[in-house]
Amino acid sequence: MRYGLSAFLATHYALSAALAQKVQALAGRAAPQARNVFDLSHLLAIEGPGARRAAIEASSAARAVENARAITYNEYSSQVVSYLDPEQAELSASRDA
C-alpha cells in the first residue's frame, strides 16, 4: 500500500480498439451519448494524422457521424462540459467553441 491507497488492476484498450468501440457506441445506440464524441475527439488527437486507423466498417462510421451531428450543444454541455475541470470547461463554454 502506497500513499495509504490499495493497489488495483486497471485494464486498458489498445488505441485502435478504443476508437472502434467509441464509433460503434455512437453508431449503435438509440440515444447516442455526447461523451462518446468527447472521447473520440481525444482518441483521434492521440492517434495523430497518418497513424493507422481502427478497422471500422464504413456503414458504422457513417451512422456514427450522423448520430454525432444530431447531438445538440445543450446535450453536450450537460453530459460533458459540466463534468470537466473548470479550466477545460471554459474552452467549451459556448456554442462557438
User: What average pLDDT score do residues 73-97 get?
Assistant: 83
User: What average pLDDT score do residues 14-26 get?
Assistant: 87
What pLDDT digit, counting tens, does each position of 32-66 carry? 999 999 998 888 888 665 555 667 888 888 999 99
Residue 72 has pLDDT above 60, yes or no: yes
> What Å distances lie between residue 30 and 34, 59, 79, CA to CA?
13, 16, 16
As a whole-number percent, the residues of the chain with pLDDT over 70 amount to: 88
**Domain limits of the chain?**
15-91
Report the distance separating Cα 67 and Cα 36, nearest Å: 11
